[in-house]
């Protein structure tokens, strides 16, 4: 199986792409601050999932990369909250993206709690 086949990867990649499209509408003065931050943290989630999957023969590395992914997902939620409070996104968009992010977090947690299902031998 390829890491691209993982539901966790697919959903986190999809979220990162939604965020990319939405942030195109952010004010230009946010380009090197909020826009950059939220894009980087959201893209880091699937990247760390891919790395975790490739490092699954090393359990500690697998866990480490997944916890990095979870942390980046949490950071993305913070930036989404800033975007809402700055009126760059509306509450409906915020709730949709937050729900997607929470789902990704649950999937990451599932991987952490069930490493054997992903080829990790303990």
The 10s digit of each residue's pLDDT in 28-81 is 999 999 999 999 999 999 999 999 999 999 999 999 999 999 999 999 999 999
Q: Has residue 120 been placed in a domain?
A: no
Structural domain total, the chain:
1
CB distance 65 to 100 below 8 Å:
no
Q: Is 68 inside any structural domain?
A: yes
Backbone angles phi, psi at 104, to 5 degrees: -60, -45
What's the domain range around 61?
3-20+29-114
68: domain CATH number?
1.20.1440.60
Residue 122 lies in a domain: no
Tell whether the model's pLDDT for residue 89 goes beyond 90: yes
Distance separating alpha carbons of residues 64 and 93, to the nearest angstrom: 31
Q: Is residue 64 part of a domain?
A: yes
Per-residue pLDDT tens over the stretch 92-114 = 999 999 999 999 999 999 999 99
């Amino acid at each position: 199986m390829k890491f691209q086949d993982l539901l966790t990867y697919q959903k986190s990649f999809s979220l990162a792409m939604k965020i990319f499209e939405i942030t195109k509408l952010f004010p230009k003065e946010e380009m090197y601050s909020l826009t950059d931050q939220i894009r980087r943290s959201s893209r880091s989630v699937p990247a760390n999932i891919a790395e975790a999957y490739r490092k699954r023969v090393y359990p500690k590395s697998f866990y480490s990369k997944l916890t990095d992914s979870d942390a980046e997902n949490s950071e993305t939620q913070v930036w989404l909250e800033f975007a809402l409070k700055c009126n760059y996104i509306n509450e409906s968009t915020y709730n949709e993206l937050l729900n997607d992010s929470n789902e990704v977090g649950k999937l990451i947690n599932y991987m952490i709690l069930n490493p054997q299902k992903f080829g990790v031998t303990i």
